[in-house]
Amino acid sequence: MRICRRAKRLDKAARLPFNPPRRASAREAMKIDPEQFRVPEDKKVKLKRWPTRVKPFYKSKKHYQEMLAGHIAALSRQQGLLYAGGRRAVLLIFQAMDAAGKDGAIKHVLSGVNPQGCEVFSFKQPSATERAHDFLWRTTLCLPERGRIGIFNRSYYEEVLIVRVHPELLDSERLPDGSPGGQDLWEQRFRSILDFEKHLHRNGTHILKFFLHLSKGEQRRRFLERIDDPDKNWKFSPADLAERKFWKNYMSAYEACLGATSTRHAPWYVVPADDKENARLIISQVILDTLAGLKMSYPKAGPAHRKELRAVRRRLTE
């Protein structure tokens, strides 16, 4: 009974409004403002102040499907411009606790994107070869080409999250003698990440980072659903339950990470994840607004190319 009461208190707290806006009309209430979920640069983050649930941006299941379909169609058009231009790339990074809905968000939000211009990479436990390199090496190999969208389901951020919670993992990374330890190590890795992302931005890769913020009570509910539903048994691992013991440690690690690495050119968004449908709408709106902000257009043919096209057309119509 103690667990149930605690879960109810957590769920109630998770539904508390975050910076509630003025009373809006029904039409205005459906508008999603990505800035509401963006982590400010150089600001400390306290995740207790960020909600895991906000008022739905949709009125019904049908309305949600219509909104998502509209976002997907618009994303497809923007991706076509990105691919045709071939001068920019987009990297989407997803981080979260287990059962927060990363896989579902990627599946639904990017469902309308042309597979030729998009690739998803899921980073699990590093191999021996990967551990023999620096912590950015394995993800660097998977960065998107210009004209494409790359999606990292977990990423190099694992090295300042799970490794920070379980520092014994550092023993297998064969760090050089004299490497810093404790807080200095994490500060050094944050600096490496910031320099790396700044380099990518200068070279045309636009980075968006999403932390799907799930409450502990909602994670418990989803774990039970995976256990009780035979079709979802494959999703659950006893290791998932073991990691719940470190919840506070993970929240502290995320707070340090989000506060240290959210920048103007590579922002973090804290997405309330207790409502999966709402989370997908927020994520798709952030991506869509970012792509639209690039003001892309299809490449214009120069005089020589237009002349060549006219000549080809004449041959085809003779």
Looking at the predicted structure, is the pLDDT value of residue 5 above 50?
no
Say what the pLDDT of residue 30 is: 67
Given a cut of 70, whether residue 315 has pLDDT beyond it is yes
For residue 181, what pLDDT is reported?
77
Decide if pLDDT at 68 tops 70: yes
Task: For residues 13 and 48, give the distance between their C-alpha atoms in angstroms, rounded to a whole number.
Answer: 9
pLDDT of residue 180: 78
Q: Where does the pLDDT of residue 24 fall: very low under 50, low under 70, confident under 90, or very high at 90 and above?
A: very low
pLDDT above 70: percentage of residues in the chain: 90
- pLDDT tens track for 282-305: 999 999 999 999 999 999 888 999
Distance of alpha carbon 41 from alpha carbon 216, whole angstroms: 27
Please state the rounded mean pLDDT for residues 242-255. 97
CB 212 within 8 A of CB 271: yes
Look at residue 263 in the predicted model and tell me its pLDDT.
98
- DSSP E strand boundaries for 154-243: 205-213
pLDDT in tens, 93-132: 999 999 999 999 999 999 999 888 999 999 989 999 999 9
Identify the residue whose tokens are 């309330």: 272
Is 168's pLDDT higher than 90?
Answer: yes
Task: Please report which confidence band the pLDDT of residue 50 belongs to, taking 50, 70 and 90 as the band edges.
Answer: very high
Task: List, in order of start, the domains of the chain with CATH numbers.
Answer: 2-16+26-317 (3.40.50.300)
Q: Which helix (H) or strand (E) holds 200?
A: helix 182-202
Q: CA–CA distance from 72 to each of 9, 52, 111, 211, 281 (Å)?
A: 36, 24, 7, 21, 10
- Residue 62 has φ and ψ, to the nearest 5°, of -65, -40
Structure tokens at 134: 């620096």
Q: What does the pLDDT read at residue 179? A: 79
Mean pLDDT rounded to a whole number for the chain? 90
Residue 217: other Cβ atoms inside 10 A: 21
Mean pLDDT of 209-225: 97
For residue 17, the model assigns a pLDDT of 41
Closest by CA to 160, choosing from 244, 253, 85, 86, is 253
pLDDT(9) > 80 = no
Query: What is the model's pLDDT at position 301?
Result: 87
Going by pLDDT thresholds of 50, 70 and 90, the confidence category of residue 182 is: confident
The helix (run of H) or strand (run of E) holding residue 51 is none
Q: Is the pLDDT of residue 22 over 70?
A: no
Residues 268-283 have pLDDT tens digits of 999 999 999 999 999 9
